[in-house]
A and B are shown apart, each in its own frame.
Chain A
């Protein structure tokens, strides 16, 4: 991405492993991405590709057994200093002052991600009380204001209800309000609409998009849905087996995908208009076992555009193939070596 952008969060060569009795799961293998301040990026991939784990790593929320074994997570703080959150003590004071305050998160399942036995106000005000210096009256006002901001009707009454008394879409709005409670700079939305009805999905996405622009948030949207990405973000990273295989500006990447995996993902979106499809295209094979990573290109076992033996032996380098468009595939590494200089 362009160097003159202010990068607020940068992940470099991140490796995350889960050490278990039966073996080591290589969940993230060299993930790399940049989030420019005030922009929105999407991380797209199938379930199990490590996109959620990558996001959780940024604020040290790895599930038990997970460990960052390599790489840096560089967060540029409000005062301009850069901190590597991968080096901070687990659940220590420094990382906790970033969580919620600077980097906030929205989760997939609003029903289970919110406590069933605490009122909305209880859970919302807790966030404000923790990070902002307000008195009780101001906290209450701020809480109601937040609920109004995300479009919850009769917010001053709803606020004292419990999560199970709300509909799915309303719950996710509460989750968004909570994440934005203490003026964070980065919002990470982990599959925010996957658990919702299709009709509600668009509404919730619109709330996120509007607020991102209004509050000039930096947004990381994690999803398996390329359709969602198209409307929501400026720049997309496509992730496969724990690493980025392709990245580019959203309009370019969706129109002109280069990596065989990205092409496959796009083909597998059912089309409503146009000629009728007898069956939906899918990518053949299954995602390889994360216990034993394949040699060579991680995608070679499912790829229909193999270059040759090199695909099974060498992992492709990340090459730049256009304005801010990068791909890791042997098809393109050759052209760059010969051509020499396609921007880079």
Chain B
């Protein structure tokens, strides 16, 4: 098992390195670079940018270097000094931009995932056990609705309802007075009182998907002979359903760890903008539009690290619950 984990960790390093190279190239594929964007903006405002100034800026930002050199400088700094480069658009180091946002993103994503699990788990099981009951039809309806509703739309609807019913603005992760305040217990409390909205919006779609998956898996497992065996032992239904079919139908839940994390971060870009969340999603979208390459590259790098780690974690979880995987 240990050698397996070490092997996986080595693979992970290569995967991440490969992704970082590819994303660095892809980000720079569109014609022009950050400077062309900046200059065209300045010219739109009536400023004249001389060729000398442009060349000077290019040297200052390191944009005159060939791409592979830029990449290696960037990567070396990350590895040696955790310096993710400089954001042209925000005019500050990428690391400053990422710090808080990464934390927020993790908080929002983790709570959304938790929400999805807690909602999907009992609903999925009950609707399979009571197939074709009123409850099953209702949860099926809810599930399809959840999968079909774009989360930014759900976000808008919930914001509107909040405003109409409670007269409050529920967007953002913090109230007005806490937005720029330093971290304190009160600030954390304020965040917790507001995190429910992105939690529901972000988790709803995943929950809907998980309900469908769990229901289908449970229906398969409930018909398996080992369920009859357990019944023939004289075990009570509720007990044996949780001990046997649920235990086996749970596998896709655990593999969902792998894809839910990155999906929650990148998938919530538009929702993040609608809800005005200080998370990575909107930052990534912005940086791609501006060709703010170090910022974009860093976000993609972090996303890929999360994805690869998520895959490893979910594989380890699967091996933990399923001896068939463990022993192969």
For chain A, which range describes its interface: under 10, 10 to 19, 20 to 34, or 35 or more residues?
Answer: 20 to 34
Residues of B within 8 A of A115 (CB): 226, 230, 244, 247-248
Residues of B within 8 A of A61 (CB): 228, 231-232
Quick check: A100 and B234 within 8 Å, CB to CB?
yes
A116–B321 Cα distance when bound, in Å, is 11
When C-beta atoms are compared, the residue in chain A nearest to B322 turns out to be: A117
Among A63, A101, A114, A162, point to the contact of B226 (Cβ < 8 A). Answer: A114
Segment among A23-31, A66-74, A104-112, A274-282 that sits at the interface with chain B: A104-112
Quick check: A112 and B224 within 8 Å, CB to CB?
yes
Segment among A125-133, A238-246, A292-300 that sits at the interface with chain B: A125-133
Among B228, B231, B247, B324, point to the contact of A164 (Cβ < 8 A). Answer: B324
Among A105, A108, A114, A117, point to the contact of B321 (Cβ < 8 A). Answer: A117
Residues of B within 8 A of A99 (CB): 231-234
Distance from A137 Cβ to chain B, minimum over Cβ atoms (Å)? 21
Q: Which residues, 214 to 240 on B, are CB-close (under 8 Å) to A?
A: 223-226, 228-237
For the complex, is A113 an interface residue (Cβ under 8 Å from B)? yes
A156–B126 Cα distance when bound, in Å, is 38
Quick check: A101 and B234 within 8 Å, CB to CB?
yes
**A 228-263 binary contact with B (CB < 8 Å = 1; else 0):** 000000000000000000000000000000000000
For the complex, is A208 an interface residue (Cβ under 8 Å from B)? no
Residues of A within 8 A of B237 (CB): 91
A184–B237 Cα distance when bound, in Å, is 21
Quick check: A117 and B248 within 8 Å, CB to CB?
yes
Residues of A within 8 A of B247 (CB): 115, 117-118
When C-beta atoms are compared, the residue in chain A nearest to B226 turns out to be: A115
For the complex, is A41 an interface residue (Cβ under 8 Å from B)? no
When C-beta atoms are compared, the residue in chain A nearest to B131 turns out to be: A64
For the complex, is A59 an interface residue (Cβ under 8 Å from B)? yes
Residues of B within 8 A of A175 (CB): 229
A278–B7 Cα distance when bound, in Å, is 60
Residues of B within 8 A of A104 (CB): 232
A96–B235 Cα distance when bound, in Å, is 7
Distance from A63 Cβ to chain B, minimum over Cβ atoms (Å)? 8
A105–B230 Cα distance when bound, in Å, is 10
For the complex, is A165 an interface residue (Cβ under 8 Å from B)? yes
Given A91-B237, A112-B224, A112-B225, A117 and B232 contact (CB-CB distance below 8 Å): no
For the complex, is A47 an interface residue (Cβ under 8 Å from B)? no
When C-beta atoms are compared, the residue in chain A nearest to B247 turns out to be: A117
For the complex, is A203 an interface residue (Cβ under 8 Å from B)? no
A99–B233 Cα distance when bound, in Å, is 6
Quick check: B226 and A112 within 8 Å, CB to CB?
yes
Quick check: B225 and A126 within 8 Å, CB to CB?
no
Quick check: B323 and A107 within 8 Å, CB to CB?
no
For the complex, is B183 an interface residue (Cβ under 8 Å from A)? no
Residues of B within 8 A of A162 (CB): 323-324, 327
Q: Which residues, 100 to 156 on A, are CB-close (under 8 Å) to B?
A: 100-101, 104-105, 107-109, 112-119, 126-127, 130-131
Number of B interface residues, CB 8 Å?
A: 23
**A 316-338 binary contact with B (CB < 8 Å = 1; else 0):** 00000000000000000000000
Distance from B237 Cβ to chain A, minimum over Cβ atoms (Å)? 5
Distance from A215 Cβ to chain B, minimum over Cβ atoms (Å)? 18
A107–B233 Cα distance when bound, in Å, is 12
Q: Which residues, 77 to 112 on A, are CB-close (under 8 Å) to B?
A: 91, 96-101, 104-105, 107-109, 112
Quick check: B224 and A97 within 8 Å, CB to CB?
no
When C-beta atoms are compared, the residue in chain A nearest to B237 turns out to be: A91
A91–B235 Cα distance when bound, in Å, is 9
Distance from B308 Cβ to chain A, minimum over Cβ atoms (Å)? 27
Among B230, B232, B234, B324, point to the contact of A97 (Cβ < 8 A). Answer: B234
Quick check: A130 and B324 within 8 Å, CB to CB?
no
Among B228, B235, B236, B324, point to the contact of A117 (Cβ < 8 A). Answer: B324
Q: Which residues, 282 to 307 on B, are CB-close (under 8 Å) to A?
A: none
Distance from A117 Cβ to chain B, minimum over Cβ atoms (Å)? 6
A101–B244 Cα distance when bound, in Å, is 20
Residues of B within 8 A of A108 (CB): 225
Residues of B within 8 A of A116 (CB): 226, 248, 322-324
A96–B233 Cα distance when bound, in Å, is 8
Distance from B136 Cβ to chain A, minimum over Cβ atoms (Å)? 13
Most buried by B among A96, A101, A104: A96
A207–B248 Cα distance when bound, in Å, is 31
A176–B235 Cα distance when bound, in Å, is 18
Quick check: B235 and A126 within 8 Å, CB to CB?
yes
A117–B234 Cα distance when bound, in Å, is 20
A277–B6 Cα distance when bound, in Å, is 63
Residues of A within 8 A of B323 (CB): 116-117, 119, 162, 164
Quick check: A130 and B232 within 8 Å, CB to CB?
no
**A 170-206 binary contact with B (CB < 8 Å = 1; else 0):** 0000010010000000000000000000000000000
Quick check: B233 and A100 within 8 Å, CB to CB?
yes
Distance from A288 Cβ to chain B, minimum over Cβ atoms (Å)? 26
Quick check: B229 and A114 within 8 Å, CB to CB?
yes
Given A117-B322, A165-B327, A130 and B233 contact (CB-CB distance below 8 Å): yes
Distance from A192 Cβ to chain B, minimum over Cβ atoms (Å)? 13
Residues of A within 8 A of B228 (CB): 56, 61, 107, 113
What are 12 of the A-B contact pairs (CB < 8 Å)?
A91-B236, A96-B234, A98-B234, A100-B233, A115-B226, A116-B226, A116-B323, A117-B248, A117-B324, A119-B323, A162-B324, A164-B324
Not counting A97-B234, A107-B229, A113-B226, a sample of 6 additional A-B residue pairs whose C-beta atoms are within 8 angstroms of each other reads: A61-B231, A96-B235, A99-B232, A113-B229, A117-B321, A165-B327
